[in-house]
Every structure is written in structure tokens, then in C-alpha cells.
Structure 1
Amino acid sequence: MRNLVIVGMAVSAMLGGVQALAKVSEAEAARLGSELTPVGAERAGNAAGTIPAWTGGLSQPPANWSPGQRETDPFAGDQPLFTITQDNYEQYRDRLTNGHVAMLETYGPDYFLPVYQTRRTAAFPEHVYDKLRQNALTAELLENGNGVRDTIMTSPFPIPRNGLEVIWNHILRYRGEQLAFRSASATPAVNGAFNPILTQYDYFFAYAKPGAELADIDNKIFYLKTETISPANLAGSITLVHETLDQVRSPRLAWRYQAGSRRLRRSPNLAYETDLPNSSSLRSVDQKDMYNGAPNQYDWHLKGKREIFVPYNAYQLHSNEHSSEEIIQPGHINQSLTRYELHRVWVVEATLRTGISHIYSRRIFYVDEDSWQILASEEYDNDGQLWRVSEAHNISYYSEPVFWTTLEMTYDLKARRYYIDGLDEGQAPYDFDPGFRSSEFTASAARRAARR
């Protein structure tokens, strides 16, 4: 790692045992909303002026958007400041991840990074900011690090002290209270040919429900039901997930209904390194949402902060103006539709614990300081070689102030293929107020839905 800015704290190698670092003092928490943003980022810009100060984010939608529409691009007039290519990347090397360097070297000249003006758009509702400050004063990691206590609604550790706290900030970040949407995934062949799989996603975030306390939510973070819409041979397949907070004490509950089987079955292995369904073995289950699940298989190292070029404000990829055929290309997506900006990120390294088996021996995560969203990651094989490179292209949503992904992909450098998820072509806008009830996410409710 180059140009690491080590924060002024003891950077922990791993919170594998009993390091109960959390619960900051009133004086530290008072920094939230002053020199730190309510989320815990540095409010000020950088010394070079290439990262601006945070002034509240994109807290109001642009004038050309109205409810019921897909998010419009508030920066449609922006032009790239410059483009990083296979030929010139060395002059930007200290602002690039190893994964992006590998992509430039492997797929250039067709693969490039268009770099735009930095826009710190991440914003959340005021009641979420209030909870962040409250969590800072009370939240603690459980003794084994596989869960948290005295926290609710959003990230527990806005002033983190170690890598595990940063990862929990990502896992528990605020993504709204409910959400319903349809999007497609694909695993393009080497020549770019693909067959999209359209899926309906329904989320109920128990952890984010207003007024909830940990004791009320039965160790659940969220409930998720997915249903495959097309192609015809997969249509009707349903997955139900109860995402738990401490997954070692109470593992994730998952059920699968395969079209034609007429039975809803438990899926006890839908975790860790298991192949993500419909990913052609190009992505593991714990890579969904960039990282999810119990952190007990890795030692977590906080490496500090870096200023790097990361995918951000990806409104062109979210737009209905571009078809899936225009986005998907051989080897990688159409980089002319992407937007990269210079942002400060927390760098977290995960190394596989002794005696644990996983396809990835080491992982590097680049976590946005303004949102706790993982923006990019690198996955290394058991020989220590860079194997896969993952990206999350994000936007700020308007109907609910949330900064979240619109498109995710994992590039496999060995297979020269990739998995892409979040293709929105022709689909309705995300609905952050679908009116779900928790009772709609039980196994019996899923079974009834499957038999319709």
C-alpha cells in the first residue's frame, strides 16, 4: 500500500479475542458534527484541494427529478478531468488500488478510468445521524468480535479503532427501512455474450426500524426475499434469508424454492465461500453487497486511510438511457459509462485465520469514509496471487436519503470473465416505502408465495 495515512490510534491487527475497544467518550463523540461529519468522516477537504469539504451531501434531489422517477444525474454536465489508461497509470499509481492497476494492465487500452470532479454526495436522514452519535457512545463488539451490542439502526462505530469495527460499519450501515426493486444479473462469456437473470428483491430492515432496540429484533439485521422473474426455466425460484447479527451464535437462516420442485428447503450452506447462486462460480456468497456475514474466518487489520480513485456517483450506469448490451462488454463493463472520483477511504486487510478454509486467503477492502460503503475490494487466492477484483458503483438515492450500490461486479482475472449485478434497464425506480410487514418474510409466507 502506498501513501497510507495512519490514523492517530493504535491500529489493531485483529479483534479475534477480547479487545473491547468501542464506546467513545462524550468528548470524542462531540467531534461528530464538528470536525467530523455525522457519519464520522473528515469534514474538511484535503490539503491539495482535490477533495472538497463535506457540506451536507446531496440532501435534496435535483430540480429535474420528481417522485416516481428513476434518479436523474445531478452532474450531467460534468466532463472527465482526465483519463487513466494502460499507458499513463504510473503517474497516478499512488492513487490507484492494486486491483485497478491489474485491470489496466490486463484489459488496456479498452479498460480505462475516467476521473471526474469529486462530489461528496453521501447523505442520510437526520434521525440516522442522531443514532450514529448515540451508537458511538454505547456500541461495543461482543467478546469474540462476531457481533455487536448496544447499537441500532446504522453503523455502530463512527469513530472506529480497528478493522473489525470498520467492517461492522459496512455490514450495519443504513440502507433505509424497506426496499423493493427489480434488477438483472449476468455472467458474460469471454466474448461478451450474456443471458440476463431478472430478479425481484424485497428487503425488510429490522435493525433500521424506527423505535426498535436490539432486544426487539431477535438478532436479525434484515429479511430478504428474492424471486426469479426470468428466464422462463428459472422463473418462480425463491430465496428467503433471515440475516442475523451474531452469525456464529445464531447462523443465517436461508431457504430455497427451486422452480418445479414444489418444496421450500433450508439452505444451511448459503454463506462464506459457497458459490453465489446464478454467478457461474465467479463470486462467493460473502461477496454479495461487497462483504456480508460473520467475520470470524479472518483476522482484520486496519491499515489506515488513503486518497484513491474509486467508483462514485454512477448515475449513468443507473440510468434507463443505456441498455444492458451497451453496458456489458467482453472482459469488463463499458468504462465510458463509469465515473471515478478521488475520495478518502479506510483500507482494511482481511487475512484468513489459521486452520480456516476459504477460497480467498487475503482480501483488501476500500471503505468510503462518507457512507461506510465498500467501494472496491481485491481477493487473493491461496497462493497469494491477486485473483479477483470487485467494484461497487454507487449513487445517492432521492426518495430516501441513502448512499448505496446501483451496480456491483466481480472480475475474475484468471477466467477473464465477470459477474455483474444491478442492471436496471427498463425497470421501475427503487421503492423505499413498499409497505411490507415482517410477517411476509416467514418461511410459511414464502411457501405460500411459491405455490401461487
Structure 2
Amino acid sequence: MRKTTTKSLRPGLLCTALAALLASPPAGAAATEAEIAGLGKTLTPIGAEAGKNADGSIPAWSGGLNQVPAGWKPGRLDPYKDDKPLFAIDAGNADKYADKLSAGQLALLKTYKGYRMDVYPTRRSCPVPDFVAAQTKKNAAAAKLGADGWQLEAVVGGGTPFPFPKSGAEAMWNYKLRYTGLGRRAQISALMPDKDGSYVENKQWAYELYPFNDPKVAGPADVGGVESKLLFDVLSPASRAGEGYLIHAFIDKPQDAWIYFPGQRRVRRSPTFAYDNPIAGFDNLYFVDQINMFTGALDRYDYKLAGKKEMFVPYNSYRLIDKNNKFKDMLGPDYVNRDYLRYELHRVWVVEATVKGDKRHSFAKRVFHFDEDSWALLQVDMYDAKGNLWRVQEGSLWAAPDVGACMAYETQMYDLVARRYVTDNWTAEGEVIDLTAAKEGRVTAATFSQDEMRRRGER
């Protein structure tokens, strides 16, 4: 495979972005009164550009999908089912659209025969609840990073920490603490297709808790510095059934993790379940910190805010999560069936992460692409130590009006060296994700204890 390098932002756009950064206060400085006054006016309540783009292909934001349609459940209703594709991007015309694609997207288009991206009308569907808008204004004036440049020192719950990001680390925290509800549960499947059309299904119950999404949280001390808690109960394959994985992520230190092994009937602390350590059962194709697109501490990379660009990204992926789908129809030998994916033109923030000189990681460089309307992470390009593009991961965003947020849950990851791919967080066939589990008490802080994991494993 030929060497692939990151494609730079368009010269004019890059100059504009750099000029804005140079004119801004240093990283960690509070937003100005003029900036804060623009929230909810020229900007959306979390800091995205409210207006349309120059040619109108990105419309103005008008509140998003903020009313719950009759019959709504994730995967049971597509509010944009009547939309038709505007055009398709494939290997034959990819260069024409290269300025609106990532290096990873270009590589997929040119590497895999038949791979295409169907582009639909842009729908700015992401809503912002009133309390998120109010908490974001508080954060704009008070949120700050620690002296090390990555730890989060001050933030209030329920809002975007840095609606006017001045550094790559601030943008990363906007992603990590974006509002998606208090927590959820789902029976999910991670799938590894083979060339013959078969696939291995890693099925599990997944429980997630996000304490900073609670507007009652006045600061890190209120939640013990916990960023999130994740629990996974493995159901299949049979060789792994009964295993459990518990993760506590923090805003100021690396995460804690525990594993339950049914054969030993004990919970063991697992300091290696982090960063670029491979996840069991995925043939070395999937690292721990690729869960949910990116998880864990920010301490191993330097993060550069490269600016904002217009880009074709997975958006309003209701067709992908349709509960009438069958995995056998969705999974091709080399990539996900393109009929199930929808791409739209949106503005994204670009962050380039480079491994620090005194740290190590298998991905020497990562390029993150965040949706400006939700701070969801929709595209990650990952490079090896020689600068070669190695893996490409994409998220799939859809608006959940019952929660008042856009969810980026389902992920697809392509390994360009192994020529294999993995999907994760696909809700199991026939199962619907429970987005209000924490709000309604079906998931609580007690769910994420070692004792609870042991109890589940011994059932």
C-alpha cells in the first residue's frame, strides 16, 4: 500500500483559522463578554456557527430536532426517510471532492473497489436543551485546564466546557463532556466480518454513566473527578461469555479498569486495559482507547487545534440503526454495505494529536474531526510511527429528541494494513438502546462497582 499522508486544510481556510487562533487569548483564558453575548444569536448555544455557509449547502441552524415525533424510538423512525441522495462520491470522482474529505476517507475510496459515500441534503438536526445553553454560558466564563495543559480543572455540569476552544485539548474536552444524557444501557454487538461473508459477533450488555451531564454538578469535586463510567457484560461468543469489564475515567488522571473472569470467579484490577492495549477477542484490530471513538486520559498526546473545515461526514444515520436491518445484509467482506450509510456536508473542528516525546502509543498521530453542532467525534485518521495511514474510524450520528441531544454511538473501524474491519456499538438485532436509563433509575452509580460486576458474573 502506498504511503498516505494527512491532507492539509485548504490554504484560505487554514489562514483564516490560524489568524483566528493567533488573535485569540491564550489557551485556558476565559471567553470575553462579546463572545458569550453571541451564544444563541450569531452562534448556536454551544458555539457553532448559526448561519448558513457561503453557498447555502449548509443551512442555518434552527433549533434541531427538538420535538419528539409520535412513535419515536431509536431505530424505529427516520424523520428524513424521504430524502434522496444529491450525489455519490467514489474512486472515480474522489479527487474532485478531496478538500471536503479526510485522508482516511480518501484512502477508503481509493483502496476498496465499490466503496462509495452517498451525500444527502444537510440537516442540522442536533438540538440544544435550555439548561445546556445556560450551563455552557457559565463554562465559557469559568471552565479552565490545569497547568499541565490537559487536565480539566474547573467545569460545571450539563454544558459544553469550551464553546470558544483556543487549544486542541479544550476541543477534546468538548467532545468528552458533550451532552448526551445522564447515561444509557444497550445490548450491543461488535462485529468482525470475514472475507467469506461470515462474521464473529461479540455481544454484550453495555452500561454507561456520564455524571457531568447533570446540570446540578457545580464542579469536579461533586462527582469525585469522574468523567464517565462504563460496564460491559459479555454474552457471546461462548468462549468469552460471562466476562465483565469495568472502566472509571477521570478528568485529571488515567482511568481505572477491572476485569471479571468467570473461570476464576474474581474481579481483578487491570491497569493495562487502557491506551493502545488490544481488546480481547478482536484479533489485535481494536485498541482500548478506540472505544466510543476515543476514551481515556489525554496525557499521551499533544493536541493542536488545526481549525475548522467543511467536510462530508456520517450524519442522521437512521438507516444504519433501523431495527429492521439484519447484520448479514449490512456487512460486506471489506466494508459496511454502503446503502446503509448517509453522509452530509457539515462544519467540523479538526484536532491533530501527536504523541509526546516522552510517551509512547502505537498511533504516533491521530487526526480528529468533531461536528460543530454537537461536538460528536465523527472521523478519526490514525497513523503509525513512520507516518503511514494505518486505521480509519468513523462514528454515526443521529438526533434523539427524547434526550435533546445528538448521539454518536455506532462506529466502524477499518485497518488498511490488515485489510479487515470491525464495527462496534451496533445495537443487537431487535434490541433498542435505552437512552434514559440513568435518568429513570435503571442505571445508577451502584451499577459501576466491583461488587456489582462480581454479582453479575456469578449469576
TM-score strictly above 0.5 = yes
User: Residues 27 and 166 of structure 2 are in contact (CA less than 8 Å); yes or no, is this contact kept in structure 1?
Assistant: no
Q: 1:238: how far off?
A: 1.0
Match of 2:102 among 82, 97, 100: 97
Identity of aligned residues (%): 37
SS in 1 for 2:193: coil
Q: What does residue range 114-263 of structure 1 map to in structure 2 within 5 Å?
A: 114-153=118-157, 154-213=159-218, 214-247=220-253, 251-263=254-266
Q: Is the 8 A contact 1:327 1:334 kept in 2?
A: yes
Letter in 1 for 2:245: T
Equivalent pairs counted in the alignment come to 441
Residue 392 of structure 1: how far off its partner (Å): 0.3
> Shift of residue 54 of structure 1?
0.4
Taking structure 2 as the reference length, what is the TM-score of the superposition?
0.92
Contact 1:200 1:226 (C-alpha < 8 Å) held by counterparts: yes
Q: 1:384 to 1:39 in 2, by over 3 A?
A: same
Contact kept in structure 1, 2:145 and 2:154, CA below 8 Å: no
Asked whether the 8 Å contact 2:76–2:323 carries over to 1, the reply is no
Name the structure 2 match of 1:74: 79
Corresponding residue number in structure 1 for 2:4:
none
Alpha carbons 1:20, 1:142 under 8 Å: kept: no
- C-alpha displacement of 1:69: 6.2
How far is the alpha carbon of 1:117 from its aligned partner? Answer: 0.2
Q: Please state if 1:39 is matched with 2:43.
A: no
Q: SS of 2:319's equivalent?
A: helix
Instruction: Find the counterpart in structure 1 of residue 309 from structure 2.
Output: 306
Normalised by the length of structure 1, the TM-score is 0.93
User: Contact 1:152–1:208 at 8 Å: present in 2 too?
Assistant: no
Which secondary structure state, in structure 2, belongs to the residue aligned with residue 133 of structure 1? helix
Alignment match, 1:10: 21
In structure 1, runs of 5+ residues without a counterpart are 13-18
Partner of 1:404: 407
How far has the Cα of 1:440 moved from its partner?
A: 2.7
Match of 1:293 among 250, 273, 296: 296
Q: Which aligned runs of 4 or more in structure 1 are off by greater than 4 angstroms?
A: none
Taking the aligned partners of 1:156 and 1:22, their CA distance within structure 2 comes to 12
1:119, distance to aligned residue in structure 2 (A): 0.4
- Between the aligned partners of 1:397 and 1:430, the Cα distance in structure 2 is 11
For the 8 Å contact 1:170–1:374, the answer to whether it is kept is yes
Alignment counterpart, residue 357 of structure 1, candidates 357, 360, 366: 360
- Which one-letter code corresponds to 2:152 in the other structure? V
Q: Judge conservation of contact 1:262–1:451 (CA < 8 Å) in 2.
A: yes
Letter paired with 1:143: A
Deviation per residue, 1:416-450 (Å, 9 max, x gap): 10111122221133241351331232212222222
2:347 is the alignment partner of 1:341: no
Q: In structure 1, what is the Cα distance between the partners aligned to 2:256 and 2:454? A: 15
Deviation at 1:234, TM superposition (A): 1.8
User: How many angstroms does 1:399 deviate by?
Assistant: 2.3
Q: How far apart, CA to CA, are the structure 2 residues paired with 1:377 and 1:58? A: 26
Distance 1:356 1:197 in 2: 32
What residue is the counterpart of 1:324 in the other structure? Answer: 327
CA distance in 1, matches of 2:431, 2:88: 31
1:147 Cα shift?
1.5
Deviations 1:381-410 (Å, cap 9, x if unpaired)?
111011111100111113212212242011
State the distance in 1 between where 2:340 and 2:46 align: 29
Shift of residue 103, structure 1, vs aligned partner: 0.4
Alignment of 1:371-410 (within 5 A): 371-410=374-413
User: Is the CA contact (8 Å cut-off) linking 1:136 and 1:157 kept in structure 2?
Assistant: yes
| Separation (CA, whole Å) in 1 of partners of 2:75 and 2:436 | 12
Task: Give the 3-state SS of the residue equivalent to 1:184 in structure 2.
Answer: strand
| C-alpha spacing 1:10/1:118, structure 2 compared with 1 (3 Å) | same
Paired position in structure 1 for 2:33? 26
Q: Equivalents in 2 of 1:46, 1:195: separation in Å? A: 43
Is the 8 Å Cα contact of residues 11 and 161 (structure 1) preserved in structure 2? no
Report which stretch shifted further, 278-287 or 45-54: 278-287
1:317 is paired with a residue whose SS is: coil
Distance (whole Å) between structure 1 residues aligned to residue 272 and residue 394 of structure 2: 25
* Structure 1 equivalent of residue 431 of structure 2: 427
What stretches of structure 2 of length at least 5 have no aligned partner? 1-7
Counterpart Cα distance in 2 of 1:95 and 1:191: 34
- Equivalent residue for 1:55, pick from 58, 62, 68: 62
